[in-house]
Structure 1
Amino acid sequence: MKIYIKYMVSLRCKLMVKKELEKLGLHYTNIELGMVETKEEINDALLLELKSNLALSGLELIDDKRSVLIDRIKNVIIEMIHYSEEVPKVNYSDYIADKLDYDYTYLSNLFSEVKGITIQHFIIKHKIERAKELILYNELNLTEIAHKLNYSSVAHLSNQFKKVTGHTPTYYKKIGQKRKSNLENL
């Protein structure tokens, strides 16, 4: 049985879900971001208990098909940007359509209708969040970050970064270093 879970976007969330399944004596065959596949069918009473236990951790079961698909789109994007070693070099539309086995136009229209932003804007926001993380880690320079996130150039990354955050990547890095030194001086 497949169960779809909203807000399950990190490895920590996966661990919480595993723990809750084990508490209820349920066996799973697969756990991915936003989805669990159990070996057995789950009766309504157990499903209700799982739902309330997960709610305590900030997670929600999803049963509406449109919501399930929206959550799957978001999870594919989050996994692609935040958990892949490198962002795929193919068109994002092809990547998402292939991963979910749906027509991209349908996915795009549904996402825009429900979320109020385009998939492309959602991807850009997450790429910039990832860039912010990488800038603060200070392990990669801007050229390496641009390459890792599949930007055509540092200028392209910088332009999008400034459009989303209101600051240049260099300024953002300075702010991060200043905060770090202030915390160390406490």
Structure 2
Amino acid sequence: MNSFITIFKEAIGNSSNFDEESTKLGITKKKIPISVLCEHQNYLKFETIQNNLENFKLFARTTHTIGNFTVFPNWMNCGRGLRLGDYWDITLISLQEFLNILSPEAWENFIKMYHLQPYVNSDYSVELFWDNHNNNAIRPTKEENFQIFLKKVNERIEERGKFIIKQICDQLDQKDFNFYKEIENMDKIKFSNEF
């Protein structure tokens, strides 16, 4: 759903000290090899990463958890990566347009079925990851866009993940886990405007 590597590379390329550090490392904005960034923790040299380090670490830990997965046909996932920059909010806007053509209920049913309430407001409008995020401005361009994105995406992955795990535990009647105490009273999932 939310791509760690996409925002990570964009944060590096958007860092105010990119030109200086990229010259030392031999990378360009078009080619940012992860191997070079990970070697000696070179990614820490970039200001946007440094300024948002804890939130990037949290996103890296949760990016491949159940709260950040959904069912998607392969052709749709590939298409959203190229055309929509791999951003889940822009993907949802595109899906909403498509589903609204099918039936008035299709969009709300889709959100409910896949527990995507953290990404929409209680009126089922998509919550953008930052102001003016749209098809014409896919990539973040300001430092605060990265801060806002990371805060929102981390909250939403955690909320959705906990809710899905609770549903699984309840359906299987498996509630004897230490973590279950934290989620046992989670009877509903938050909408975006409830964070």
* Larger RCO, structures 1/2 (Cα 8 Å, 6+ apart): 2
Rg larger in structure: 1
TM-score, length-normalised on structure 2?
Answer: 0.28
1 or 2, which has the higher strand percentage?
A: 1
TM-score, length-normalised on structure 1?
Answer: 0.29
